Amino acid sequence: MDNKSNVGFPYSPSIEKNMKMFYDSLSEKDKRHYAALEATKLGHGGVTYLSHLLGCARSTIQAGMDEFKKKMNFFQ
């Protein structure tokens, strides 16, 4: 895996590999939600880091966050 996206977050290459494999096994909706949750856990810079790590658009992660906001009031 190309690790050029690592911007100082704590995940080791082996954890990143497992996260990517898990992400790739999910449905599109679950991918959005997983990426949104992980990015939120990381805080500032999390969306950029996860979009590079998982190979998804930042807008995909934002869409997942918006879905949580609308349906679950998750991110308050």
**The predicted structure's pLDDT at residue 75:** 54
**The predicted structure's pLDDT at residue 62:** 95
**The predicted structure's pLDDT at residue 6:** 46
**The predicted structure's pLDDT at residue 70:** 84
Q: What is the dihedral of CA 67, 45, 40, 32, to 10 degrees?
A: 40
Contact 19, 53 (CB under 8 A): yes
| pTM given for the model | 0.80
For residue 5, report the phi and psi dihedrals to the nearest 5 degrees: -80, -10
**The predicted structure's pLDDT at residue 10:** 75
Question: Tens place of pLDDT for every residue, the chain, 76 residues?
Answer: 444 444 456 789 999 999 999 999 999 999 999 999 999 899 899 999 999 999 999 999 999 999 988 877 655 5
